[in-house]
Amino acid sequence: MSGRDRISELPESLLTQILSYLPTEQSVQTSVLSKRWENVYLSVPGLDLNCSVIRDEVILSFLSFIDKLLEFSPESSLFKVKVKCRGMLIDGFSDRIGTVIDRGTQHLDVVSSTDYYEDSFGHALPGVDFMPMNLYTSKALVYLKLSSSGLDDPGFVFMPCLRFLHLEEIKWRVHLEKVLSGCPVLEELTLVRDLDDDDYARTDEEFRVMRVRSQSLKRFSVLPLRQVRDYHSRVECTLEIDAPGLEHMSLGDDQFDSIVVKNLSSLLVVELDIKFFVKVGVLFNTWDVSKSNEIREFLDGISSVGHMIISGMTVHAFEHYSKAGIIPKFNNLSRFEAVFHGKLLQFLPAFLECCPNLKHLILKVVHSEEMDEGLELADVPQCVSSSLECVEIQEKLELEEGKMKATSYFLGNSAVLKKLILSPTAYDPRNVAESDIWEKVNKLTIRSTRCMAAAATGTCQLKRMLHHRSLATSSTVPSSDKEKLSLFSLAFDHSRRYNPPATQTQSTVMSGIDRISELPESLLTQILSFLPTKQSVQTSVLSTRWKNLYLNVPGLDLNLSAIAYDADEMLLSFLSFIDKLLEFSPESKLFKVKVKCRDTMIDGFRDRIGIMINRGTQHLDVESSTYDIEDDSFHHPCVDFMPMNLYTSKTLVYLKLTSSGLDDPGFVFMPCLKFMHLEEVKWRVRLEKLLSGCPVLEELALLRDLDDDYAVAYDEFTVMRVRSQSLKRFRVLPLRQVRDCRSRVNCTLEIDAPGLKHMSLGEDQFDSIVVKNLTSLLVVELDIKFFVKFGVIFNPWNLAKSNEIRDFLNGISSVRHMIISAKTVKALEYYSQAEMIPKFNNLSRLQAMFHSNLLQFLPAFLEYCPNLKHLVLKVVHSEEMEEGLELSDVPRCVSSTLECVEIQEKLELEEGKMKATSYFLGNSAVLKKLILSPTAYDPRDVLESEIWEKVNKLTKRSTGCEIIIRAMKEVVII
């Protein structure tokens, strides 16, 4: 912006309204702009915190800042709070959420940690963030979303204003039925079951039934699992739904072993993507009487529905069930949407016989090679001959005579059909003329003389159909805008279903003049650039002032995953809209582009990304589809490969790719690229070649795809070489979930980066790690055990593995700051049984987590850190800790250089406990500061004086040592 700083001149109420759309991190960063902005962020009525990006060395500072933020103006309300946790538990997390709730939060969205720790047997045990007790009696909450959180039994539940409840992979210690009984106005409930849930239900049978009982509930959804699962929970669980006011029910995945429905007298819409059996790729036994009875009762329970949407999997299950049972009549069903795989088309007339009053049918036919060439649809059910008025068909375009079975069937047999909408698939519109398609359709027999056929083959035809639909748009909208409105409203309508409508209590309503619309266009587009494109486009209906503003926003933030799997017409509308957006003002820049794909392949995806790159994109973030094709119970991945112009972009500064494919372009040159993040990429080009074309790259993050089998046939992909002269920071990110398997292909990671200053290895994804020329290394973070298989430690007497570890440790021995996990500590202790750990002579700061049964190894490890000055130690206690453990050896650094020690250790007031604290106080001769954070106790049950008394009894060798206790809300200094 040139000239005056017009944003700073806005009133504070408007500035806080603008900042409320930003994550808290960015909101706080505005405080350095000027005096005007110094404290504006403190008045924002909301929090949006992402703890997952906070590094271990700054987490304490971050939490201290959050505490001060919560203490500021405690009487003011925090209407909207969103918190995403990191991959490990945070002390005091529950208390902080409780403080937020006490501030009158109306919208609460929490993604808890998914931390796992290994016990002494190598088993992965989950750590759980349980929600505070005041959550269950909040009088302000309207919207609540919890992911991976724990819910304890509070005894009493009453949330009188809660209308929207989203519970994803919850650890249950309270019955769902009890939670719902305390929500008298609940309208929408969404569930995702945690199939990996701690085996609580195995010992408590009452948790093997989840009852959805509510008089007020209008919408209920079971969302699909985050990924394809090839196993089911070890604990069988029944879902029971009893909701007389329920209008919309969506069951999106097989997460329950049985489903029981009762009293669904108000049901209007049902969406089914289930096969009534949890295990992937397996159908139920049709001759199992109990299972057949269960399915019959379920279908009877939803038989009054008016609109049904079913997936190809559910169609297969219905056809399977019909071999032994009778599908009931759906007498009220007027609209039906279904996906039929070609070989199951024979079942279509039989199913339609159960829908005698059907008026509107939307049918997608997925053709397969094994489809019977002699397939004929002969039977004509009642609805086809007497009530069916509109049919929409997506079917493979085949111009030969006798093909396109579904289209021929309905045109030839529907007596009262008024409209047939045909969307031919599996053809290239550039190679097929529209006249060919119309000629094919005109040759088909049409029984209904009133039928109008519409072929949605290209952009032009799609426009006409959408314009026809837009006639229902409010008359207050100018006619010239109706087509545009219908275009984007159709594309975004599905995503809005899962978001609660805004309420007056959730938004800040400005009275008087519309001050935002009076701002200059350059400032408005700057504000819109912080919003997802969906929301940016929606502003076009506000007024004439806003009609075309979104077209000038220099960025895109698209989330295609919000479009339903079977909503292909909606997807076509959405893509057509995006194409129009890209065609508008092609000479203007798109500085920042973020795209998240759905779980199906999208035609033309690669070309569209190429167009965006050609628009001068500097920041590109693409999450590609993770779609698998199932063939005889095997999953074959489909890959979105990036366009060739990516590799020669002269503008890209930041590149993040997730689940994308990278082909070999022959030549790579990205002269401005500084930050590269590659997560589960499908490699067809060597990483070394990619990096060689990035001369100013400073930061690289990797997450290996353990399921990419391309390297099976190509040995050159069994080594990933990180070679760069400019690289300053390198990270191997943790896997998205705990894996109990390893890749079928051994892979070596080789790091050769003379300018590297910070290296973080966050998970065992490589069978060996080789480091070279790390002469500038300052900080290293290790969460590895030098062996890929989960829960297994390497053999220390394996000479090749021992040499590999020795070379690795020698290669990082010049580091100054080291952070190591309990897993790495255990691996180093194991290695030390056969080999000598090298000296870390430059190491001045060490952060480490020790399980208590490995504390005996602590003095030995510190012997290799002769000049250590600052130690941060977390002691994780276990029941098998030896009672007779004594720390007697005193390494050189403890007696001569160690100046500051921070300890998190279990509070034990008995004499002779708190081993680590006693050890450092009693042996550190030059210690200036010891910071103690006692854990595993309830501060309500322990007096401050008891902790002081305990610490004062300990022997102190350094007379000038200052002891700080972080036990209560206030820091106590002795």
Each residue of 360-371: pLDDT tens digit? 999 888 876 555
Task: Produce one character per residue of 713-741: b if its CB has 16 or more CB atoms within 10 Å, e if not.
Answer: eeeebebbbbbbeebbbbbbbbbeebbee
**Residue 537: in which H helix or E strand, if any?**
helix 533-538
The angle subtended at Cα 748 by Cα 717 and Cα 849, nearest 5°, is 140
pLDDT score for 307: 95
Copy the structure tokens of residue 967: 């036990």
Copy the structure tokens of residue 969: 């809300």
Contact, 305 vs 330, CB < 8 A? yes
> Which is more confident, 440 or 143?
143
Copy the structure tokens of residue 565: 């799997």
Residue 549 CB coordination number (10 Å): 19
Find where tokens 């082909």 sit.
Answer: 663
Question: Of 620, 637, 579, 625, nearest to 598 (Cα)?
Answer: 625
> Which is more confident, 183 or 234?
183
pLDDT score for 29: 83
> What is the amino acid identity at position 448?
S
Lay out the sheet containing 682-683: strands in order across.
Answer: 640-641, 660-662, 682-683
Q: What is the pLDDT averaged over residues 389-404?
A: 72
pLDDT tens-digit series, residues 456-469: 544 333 333 323 33
Is a pLDDT exceeding 90 seen at residue 734?
no
Residue 811 CB coordination number (10 Å): 18
Is a pLDDT exceeding 80 seen at residue 710?
no
3-class secondary structure, 557? strand
pLDDT-derived band at 244, boundaries 50, 70, 90:
very high
Task: Produce one character per residue of 321-356: b if its CB has 16 or more CB atoms within 10 Å, e if not.
Answer: beeebebeebeebbbbbbbbbbbbbbbbbebbbbbe
**Residue 493: in which H helix or E strand, if any?**
helix 479-496
- In sequence order, which residues have a C-beta less than 8 Å from that of residue 203 and are 6 or more positions away? none
d(CA 492, CA 564): 11
Is a pLDDT exceeding 90 seen at residue 473?
no
d(CA 172, CA 124): 19
Contact, 653 vs 673, CB < 8 A? yes
Copy the structure tokens of residue 856: 């005996």
- In sequence order, which residues have a C-beta less than 8 Å from that of residue 152 and are 6 or more positions away? 130, 131, 133, 173, 174
Contact, 388 vs 362, CB < 8 A? no
Question: Of 253, 185, 264, nearest to 225 (Cα)?
Answer: 253
pLDDT score for 470: 28
> Which is more confident, 202 or 765?
765
3-class secondary structure, 748? strand
Q: What is the DSSP string of 597-613?
A: --SS--TTHHHHHHHHH
Is a pLDDT exceeding 90 seen at residue 356?
yes
pLDDT-derived band at 762, boundaries 50, 70, 90:
confident
Q: What is the pLDDT averaged over residues 732-736?
A: 81
> Which is more confident, 354 or 8?
354
Which DSSP letter does residue 130 get? B
Highest mean pLDDT among 277-281, 429-433, 459-463, 785-789: 785-789
3-class secondary structure, 635? strand
Question: Of 321, 313, 269, nearest to 297 (Cα)?
Answer: 321
Residues forming a β-bridge with 748: 719, 768
Is a pLDDT exceeding 60 seen at residue 7?
yes
Percent of the chain with pLDDT over 90: 28
- In sequence order, which residues have a C-beta less than 8 Å from that of residue 136 and are 6 or more positions away? 154, 156, 157, 158, 159, 179, 182
pLDDT score for 481: 37
pLDDT score for 50: 82
Contact, 418 vs 450, CB < 8 A? yes
Highest mean pLDDT among 86-95, 179-188, 256-265: 179-188
Is a pLDDT exceeding 80 seen at residue 880?
no
Contact, 764 vs 785, CB < 8 A? yes
pLDDT tens-digit series, residues 148-179: 888 888 989 999 999 999 999 888 888 899 99
Q: What is the 3-state secondary structure (H, E, C) of 877-894?
A: CCCCCCCCCCCCCCCHHH
Q: Which of 64-78, 209-223, 335-349, 685-699 has the lowest mean pLDDT?
A: 64-78
Question: Of 557, 249, 576, 274, nearest to 423 (Cα)?
Answer: 576
Q: What are phi and psi of 203, to 5 degrees?
A: -105, -10
3-class secondary structure, 24? helix
d(CA 335, CA 494): 17
**Residue 916: in which H helix or E strand, if any?**
helix 915-923
Rg (Cα) of the chain, in Å, rounded?
31
